[in-house]
């Protein structure tokens, strides 16, 4: 099983590649961009911001060289999006809409079928974490988040809270500082 430091190193490699391909991604019409390396997830703004959040929050777990790589990747990303502010915001909203739909479908499957279960929750909750990363960035200038999307998320969260079982943090314990419980409550337990 992969440990949290190895996962952070993988996240950093993915982040670097996402930053390097960001300009081409924004110029394209593709929402889920296939990256050059088959072992990497598809490039999206949410996927980038999820990793940037985690790596920045947990930078003390990175070596000095890794911290420098994180800083360089962040600068590469910022340069890529600087001329594409409107396009970045539009793409982020489109992705957020898709992620909300995927998350809602997953929750309806969990609550509507005994066979779905919650065994894979720790992997599936990444969609909700990406939604949080998108919202966080869209609430910062020069971007603006659509209030209608925030309402949809609040509705999904309300339904999840009604069937929530508090419990331990679902991701590696070393990552907890990046995801404080009050804000990221959906990482501390599972649907019941």
> How far apart are alpha carbons 128 and 103 in whole angstroms?
7
- 74 vs 80: CA distance, rounded Å: 10
Residue of 20, 29, 28 lying closest to 77 (CA atoms): 20
Q: How far apart are CA 50 and CA 46, in angstroms?
A: 6
Q: Is 59 within 8 Å of 67 (Cβ atoms)?
A: yes
User: What share of the chain has pLDDT > 90, as a percent?
Assistant: 87
Bridge partner residues of 191 (DSSP): 164
pLDDT higher than 60, residue 1 = no
Structure confidence at residue 116 (pLDDT):
60
Give pLDDT tens digits for 22-63.
999 999 999 999 998 778 999 999 999 999 999 999 999 999
CA distances for 156 relative to 102, 107, 152, 164, angstroms: 11, 8, 6, 12
Note if the pTM is more than 0.85: yes
What are the pLDDT digits (tens) for 145-161? 999 999 999 999 999 99
């Amino acid at each position: 099983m992969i440990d949290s430091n190895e996962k952070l190193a993988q996240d950093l490699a993915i982040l670097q590649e996402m930053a390097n391909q960001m300009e081409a991604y924004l110029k394209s019409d593709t929402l889920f961009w296939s990256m050059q390396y088959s072992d990497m997830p598809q490039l999206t703004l949410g996927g980038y911001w999820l990793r940037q959040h985690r790596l920045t929050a947990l930078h003390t777990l990175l070596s000095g060289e890794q911290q420098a790589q994180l800083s360089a990747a962040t600068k590469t990303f910022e340069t890529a999006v600087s001329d594409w502010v409107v396009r970045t915001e539009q793409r982020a909203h489109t992705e957020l809409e898709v992620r909300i739909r995927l998350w809602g479908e997953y929750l309806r499957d969990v609550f509507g079928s005994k066979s779905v279960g919650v065994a894979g929750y720790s992997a599936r909750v990444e969609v909700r974490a990406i939604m949080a990363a998108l919202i966080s960035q869209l609430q910062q200038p020069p971007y603006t988040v659509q209030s209608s999307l925030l309402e949809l998320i609040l509705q999904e969260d309300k339904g999840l809270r009604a069937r929530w079982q508090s419990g331990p943090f679902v991701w590696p314990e070393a990552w907890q500082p990046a995801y404080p419980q009050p804000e990221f409550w959906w990482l501390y337990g599972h649907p019941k």
